[in-house]
Amino acid sequence: MALEDAKTQVDQAFTRTSLGGLSYENAFGGAPSFLRRRYTKDLGGVDVAVTGIPFDQSVTNRPGCRFGPRAIREASTLQPYDPPYGWGFDPLGDFNIVDYGDMAFDYAKISAFPAAVTEHFRTILNAGAASVTLGGDHFITLPILRAYAEKFGPVALLQFDAHSDSWVDDDAERIDHGTFVYKAVKEGLIIPEKSVAVGIRTENPDTLGVNIIDAPEVHRIGPSAVAEKVRRIIGDTPCYLTFDIDGLDPAYAPGTGTPVWGGLSSAQAAVILREIAGLNVLGGDVVEVSPPYDTTGATAVAGAHVAMEILCLWAWTRRK
């Protein structure tokens, strides 16, 4: 059946007639929506809206992650032929998932950007959908969290990252990808004692009460023990998952702006993400994929898999 479908399916981003189901369109051709989902701005009946925020104007080192959403979409075309391995169910068949496209914004009017992001996600959440976001730099998580906290109240934050992103920043007008956790705590958007940052390997003594499982601990106790610790800390608290691709070691994700050695392998990250199934994940993002430094495409592939895992985590507690 798959072979026969592959002969006829093309541009399913526009031509598919349903919001669910696998896709057998040739990976090397057609319009690259995320997982070959339908491109649409109609959120009626949608369970999850995948959306891109192509913004990288708050980076401290190498830019380029504004091109991340496009690269992740292209890399994702390798995945929608089969249900995701090891999960035991098919989120693409069981749920209505769409590619909501990228958020439009005036790149020359940065002061208006944060409010525009919050409004973008307010629209998605008020329609009854969850969001999975393709970044973009890590600043975008702050205005996304504002929309989630507005709807659900303060949430637990599960963060994969080389950096804590909790450096002090009391200037409300600053836009910085390294301070989003600080501001999220100070604004009461997240619950620090229920939040966890995994993979940290840069020095920042004040983590504002967020639990840290640094990269050396991951290597020492192993990914299954990390997943158990994460589940124990977060419990049944609704959580938002943010995955900075620099949480992975540069050997696995070289295409990012602030790479730090000694990070997680893609295999470790995959085990942790699978074994935290059961957490009440409300939504999530994958950020800091910078294609100009991703010479093999490995970073975008990793980003696409992370986004699929976030979809699976959201769907796990909501599957039929």
Q: What is the pLDDT of residues 34-71, one digit of tens each?
A: 999 999 999 999 999 999 999 999 999 999 999 999 99
Name the nearest CA neighbour of 89 among 176, 20, 42, 160.
Answer: 20
Q: What is the mean pLDDT of the chain?
A: 96
Instruction: Spell out the residues 6+ positions from residue 314 whose beta carbon is closer than 8 angstroms to its own.
Output: 48, 130, 132, 281, 282, 283, 284
How many whole angstroms separate alpha carbon 187 and alpha carbon 212?
A: 20
Name the nearest CA neighbour of 79 among 231, 303, 319, 320.
Answer: 303
Q: What is the pLDDT of residues 172-181, one digit of tens each?
A: 889 999 899 9
Task: Provide the residue ranges of all domains of the chain, joining segments of one domain with +.
Answer: 2-316
Q: How many residues does the chain have?
A: 320
* 22 confidence band (pLDDT: 50, 70, 90): very high
The answer, as to whether pTM is greater than 0.85, is yes
How many whole angstroms separate alpha carbon 174 and alpha carbon 227?
A: 34
Annotated binding site: 138, 161, 163, 165, 244, 246
Average pLDDT over residues 114-128: 98
Strand spans (E) along 10-166: 48-53, 97-102, 130-135, 156-160
Phi, psi of 160 (to 5 degrees): -105, 125
Work out the number of other CB atoms within 10 angstroms of the CB of residue 119. Answer: 13
Render the burial of 203-221: b for 16+ CB within 10 Å, e for the rest. ebeebbebbbbbbebbeee
How many whole angstroms separate alpha carbon 293 and alpha carbon 44?
A: 38
How many whole angstroms separate alpha carbon 49 and alpha carbon 311?
A: 10
CATH of 2-316 among 3.30.1330.20, 3.40.800.10, 3.40.50.2020, 3.30.1370.10: 3.40.800.10
How many whole angstroms separate alpha carbon 145 and alpha carbon 180?
A: 10
Locus of tokens 């898999």: 305
Annotated binding site for Mn(2+): 138, 161, 163, 165, 244, 246
